[in-house]
Structure 1
Amino acid sequence: MDAEKGKKLSLNIVSGKVEHRGFGAGSIDLNNMSSVIIDGDEAYLDMGAMHAKSKVEKGIKFSVNKEDTPNGRKCWIVWVAVDRNEQGEKYYAGVTACEMLVDPEARRGWKILADHVNKMDYALKRRFVLDGLNDAEKAALKACLIEQGEDMWELSPDTLKQGLA
């Protein structure tokens, strides 16, 4: 439950409507994108990551130099694209993980913004990039995805299931 809003967070899905939108039609539609944070062995939805305002990012000044965060703990932002198959059933269509370090006490962190943007784009393009996740992080992400939608998990490509095995 999201304590601030009093409702359960859920993964966004693609709208069933297909219509011409005119101006801005070539822009990226993020309605089918969600963000999951992996912090240690815990994974949870945090839509604030869409604007670099997730729980772990708030109050952190980020640097592109890893050495600026010597005491940082590793966290991941995982971009999750949800789509519908030909039968209209939802599934996890693209999942990519981006590493970052955060040190809340020093209010410092490390991440490469370009990597985060590229990985979001890869998820939108239906790719699975889970390099770097350890076994506990994979298990936490898998559990989070299944909790959000067991049916979506079952309909997802084997590439995702094998990547989180």
Structure 2
Amino acid sequence: MKEKKHFIILSNDSTDGDGGYGIGTLDLNNVTPIIIDCENEHVFIDLEALHGRSKIEKKVRFSPNLSHASDDYYRYWIVWVALQTAQNGPYYAGCTASEVRVSKEERRIKLGYKSLPEQVNYLDKALKGKFLLDHLDSNSKKLLYQFLSGFNEEYWKHSPEDLKRQLSIREDL
């Protein structure tokens, strides 16, 4: 009989203890989901996005088909931001974004688009220190830049140039 593999999320160090339970688990303590509301030009942290229950995902029936959200939709980005600490202090170590669309049609349960495999892969890439933001529109990049640099100047200052380049930010301007 094949042993079942379990995916467990723990908030403490998975290598503590006897080395049995919890080895090989994923620690999401250093990742933060940020929502970009493109229509209202608003950026906010929503920790419920880690469980697929963010403010923008509630009362929405999602499909991986773009047309499911109709032609008239609200556009959002769920941005996964991973933090790490180096000798000179904390910094944004990884940052990726996946698109979410929600139909503007008034109904009790709205229709929407999101790709769950894309979100999971992007979360994984952020945790591994990758920056994938080139696919964001210019206004969303500007909003994300303002949020990240304004949230904590030190985090921004210590962050890799790749993040600043992908958000089209040059320090010499």
TM norm structure 1: 0.84
**Residue 152 of structure 2 corresponds to residue 114 of structure 1:** no
Q: In 2, Cα distance between the equivalents of 1:25 and 1:145?
A: 33
Q: Which moved more, 1:152-161 or 1:98-107?
A: 98-107
**149, 152, 160: which one aligns with 1:157:** 160
Cα drift, residue 154 of structure 1: 0.4
- TM-score, normalised on structure 2? 0.80
Asked if structure 1 preserves the Cα contact closer than 8 Å seen for 2:15 and 2:23, the reply is no
The CA distance in 2 between the partners of 1:161 and 1:75, in whole Å, is 21
Contact 1:60 1:102 in 2 (8 A): yes
Q: Deviation of residue 19 (structure 1)?
A: 6.0
Instruction: Give the CA deviation at 1:18.
Output: 9.6
8 Å CA contact 2:36–2:79 kept in 1: the answer is yes
Q: CA deviation at 1:20?
A: 2.6
Residue by residue, what CA displacement relative to the aligned partner does 1:8-56 show, whole Å, maximum 9, x if unpaired?
xxxxxx98x8963532121010000000001112211111111111111
The separation in 2 between residues aligned to 1:55 and 1:103, in whole angstroms, is 15
Q: Tell me, yes or no, if structure 1 residue 147 matches structure 2 residue 150.
A: yes
Listed as ranges, the matches of 1:40-59 within 5 Å are 40=38, 41-59=41-59
Q: State the identity as a percent.
A: 39
Structure 1's 149 and 18: CA in aligned 2 closer, same or farther, altered over 3 A? farther
- Alignment partner of 1:38 is 2:20: no
Q: Distance in 1 between matches of 2:156 and 2:79?
A: 16
Aligned-residue Cα RMSD (Å) equals 1.9
Distance in 2 between residues matched to 1:33 and 1:43, nearest whole Å: 16
Q: Is the 8 A contact 2:97 2:133 kept in 1?
A: yes
1:149 deviation in Å?
A: 1.1
d(CA) in 2 for partners of 1:108, 1:131: 27
In the alignment, structure 2 segments of 5+ residues that lack a partner are: 1-10, 169-173
The 8 Å contact of residues 134 and 167 in structure 2, kept in 1 or not, is answered as no
Structure showing greater Rg = 2
Per-residue Cα deviation, 1:111-164 (whole angstroms, up to 9, x for no partner): 110000000000000000013211110111111112221100000000001111
**1:63 equivalenced with 2:63 (yes/no):** yes
Aligned residues: 150
* Mapped contact 1:97–1:131 kept (Cα < 8 A): no
Q: Deviations over 1:74-99 (max 9, x none)?
A: 11000000000134x11000000101
- AA aligned to 1:81 is A
SS at match of 1:133: coil
